[in-house]
Amino acid sequence: MTMSYVDSVFEQVKQRNPNEPEFLQAVQEVLESLKPVIHRHPEFAEAGLLERIVEPERQIIFRVPWVDDRGKVQVNRGFRVQFNSAIGPYKGGLRFHPTVNLSIIKFLGFEQIFKNSLTGLPIGGGKGGSDFDPKGKSDGEIMRFCQSFMTELYRHIGADCDVPAGDIGVGGREIGYLFGQYKRLRNCYEGVLTGKGLTYGGSLVRTEATGYGLCYFVDEMIRAKGRSFAGATVVISGSGNVSLYALEKVVQLGGKVVAMSDSNGYIVDPAGVDFTLMRRIKEVERRRIKEYAAAKPGVEYHEGCAGIWSVKCDIALPCATQNELDERAAQQLVDNGCWAVGEGANMPSTPEAVEIFLKNKVLFAPAKAANAGGVATSALEMSQNSMRLSWTFAEVDAKLKEIMAGIYRKASEAAKEYGYEDNLVVGANIAGFLKVAQAMMAQGIV
Ligand code: NDP
Ligand code: 2IT
């Protein structure tokens, strides 16, 4: 038997990108899901659509030199991968973390294409970042790094071309420094970044959007099966932007969060994690999660972040990083009675872990659907910047909720239509792909 079109495209991707395991992992999952679509649409193969969609439109890698507080010159590597602009300007975050490399930025950029499509808003896919480690750096060092990073990046981005935002290690402070430098270099005040501060063009709800959106999505998914957050025990990994606002929303929806983590370890708080205290320690004071245990009686701290999946829960929300939840962790969750998983991070579950969830009928919300609330609200920030108006918190929050419900509907309908009822992994991949594919078909071979 000759190899299928989809399999032969994946073979080519493997050959051309042999040292990019995260990128290959993301591509393999999407291509596998698309087999029934390709079968129904032979015109996609004729147009070389898959060969084109797996190749970034443009990849930029650059030197980022800066001077640390001791006067020593430091050099980091900067990246921006402009993956696909079929449905709108490139859009996606910047990650500053020592593990950043081209494979990671390409996997994130590739996922972003389909996620952004699912939002229903006009945004293409892109991602960027640096192997810079913000941990332990002074504000001055962060500022000088951001200014140097933007001194190269500014020539490649723009409000109608490519609009970066935050991701791991890039929050409000970094976006501020990046925006200031962009404006200075271009002499132009435009919505070139999202996640901006509220005094200079930011949108209400953007800070909370990914975590809130994750909970809105999971709520839709579990309510469709007669379940709810009320009274549920929840474990959230990470304690950064996504995790914190998932925590706040879970509590508002009547659930109890009993464990959270950072890259060093995890806390167990049987009484339910206190949002105000956790936010102060992690977001305001930028300290370690260990200090939450020191600050509140009855809380245990355990070294090593992977152990968090041994904590018994009804709902698990992995919100830290890629491949943080493996086969063993998935089995542990299932054995402990976990019945729903919502991915707040990008690709947090390994392919083997996803298999285990699906096989055991755990309600599974895949990242590119479940965490799309952040980028959706970024697109709402872009709209407000274009109109030179700002909407109230309630207005943006209502739009976010509606967008997340819409994504759930699109993913579950696509899954059903292609014979994979209740499989939101396949449904999200197909629904996200179809809009991009139609736009690419209309625009010719580009
Ligand atoms: P933050 O930098 O605010 O927080 C990241 C959290 O994850 C921290 O608790 C960090 O711990 C932990 N973490 C990071 N890397 C690792 C690692 N290698 N091993 C263990 N723990 C780790 O990032 P965000 O909350 O913004 O992002 C979290 C995830 O959500 C990422 O996968 C991101 O791509 C995804 N995402 C973010 C969106 C956003 O709007 N911000 C939107 C959609 C997805 P420590 O402090 O110890 O480093
Ligand atoms: O992974 C993601 O969707 C993000 N980090 C948010 C991107 C954005 O442009 O808001």
Q: Measuring CA to CA, which residue among 92, 103, 355, 342 is closest to residue 235?
A: 342
Q: Is 164 in the pocket of ligand 1 (CB under 6 A)?
A: no
Taking the centre of ligand 1 as the mean of its atom positions, its distance from the CA of residue 236, in whole angstroms, is: 12
**Where do the H-state alpha helices sit in 58-205?**
102-118, 139-153, 172-186
Q: How far is the CA of 129 from the centre of ligand 2 (A)?
A: 12
> Among candidates 366, 336, 363, which has minimal Cα distance to 351?
366
Q: Which amino acid is at 181?
A: Q
For 35, the 3-state DSSP assignment is helix
Is ligand 2 within 6 A of the CB of residue 378? yes
Q: Is 240 in the pocket of ligand 1 (CB under 6 A)?
A: yes
Domain boundaries, the chain: 2-53, 58-192, 209-370
Tokens representing residue 365 in the block: 């919300």
Look at residues 318, 350, 308, 310 and name the one whose alpha carbon lies nearest to residue 334: 310
Written as tens digits, the pLDDT of the chain (446 aa) is: 568 999 999 999 999 999 999 999 999 999 999 999 999 999 999 999 999 999 999 999 999 999 999 999 999 999 999 999 999 999 999 999 999 999 999 999 999 999 999 999 999 999 999 999 999 999 999 999 999 999 999 999 999 999 999 999 999 999 999 999 999 999 999 999 999 999 999 999 999 999 999 999 999 999 999 999 999 999 999 999 999 999 999 999 999 999 999 999 999 999 999 999 999 999 999 999 999 999 999 999 999 999 999 999 999 999 999 999 999 999 999 999 999 999 999 999 999 999 999 999 999 999 999 999 999 999 999 999 999 999 999 999 999 999 999 999 999 999 999 999 999 999 999 999 999 999 999 999 99
For ligand 1, atom 10, which residue shows the shortest CA distance? 262
For ligand 2, say whether the CB of 345 is within 6 Å of any of its atoms: no
Cα separation, 59 vs 438, in Å, equals 24
Q: Are 410 and 434 in contact (CB under 8 A)?
A: no
Tell me which of 104, 167, 205, 309 to substitute to probe ligand 1's pocket, judged by most ligand atoms within 8 Å of the beta carbon.
Answer: 167
Q: Which residue is closest in CA terms to ligand 1's atom 48?
A: 263
Eight-class DSSP state of 133: -
Closest CA relative to residue 38, chosen from 82, 8, 15: 8
Distance 353 CA to ligand 2 centre (A): 24
| Pairing status of strand 73-84 against strand 124-130 | antiparallel
Ligand 1 atom with least separation from CA of 367 = 44
- Give 200's DSSP letter: G
Query: Would you say the pTM of this structure is higher than 0.95?
Result: yes
Task: Report the top-level CATH class of 209-370.
Answer: alpha beta
Is 127 labeled as catalytic in the residue annotation?
A: yes
Residue 319 CB–ligand 1 contact under 6 Å = yes
- If you measure from the C-alpha of residue 167 to the centroid of ligand 1, how many angstroms do you get, rounded to a whole number? 7
CATH topology of domain 58-192: Rossmann fold (3.40.50)
Are the C-beta atoms of residues 363 and 339 closer than 8 Å to each other? yes
What b/e sequence results for 140-167 when a residue is b if at least 16 CB atoms lie within 10 Å of its CB, and e otherwise? ebbbbbbbbbbbbbbebbbbeebbbbbb
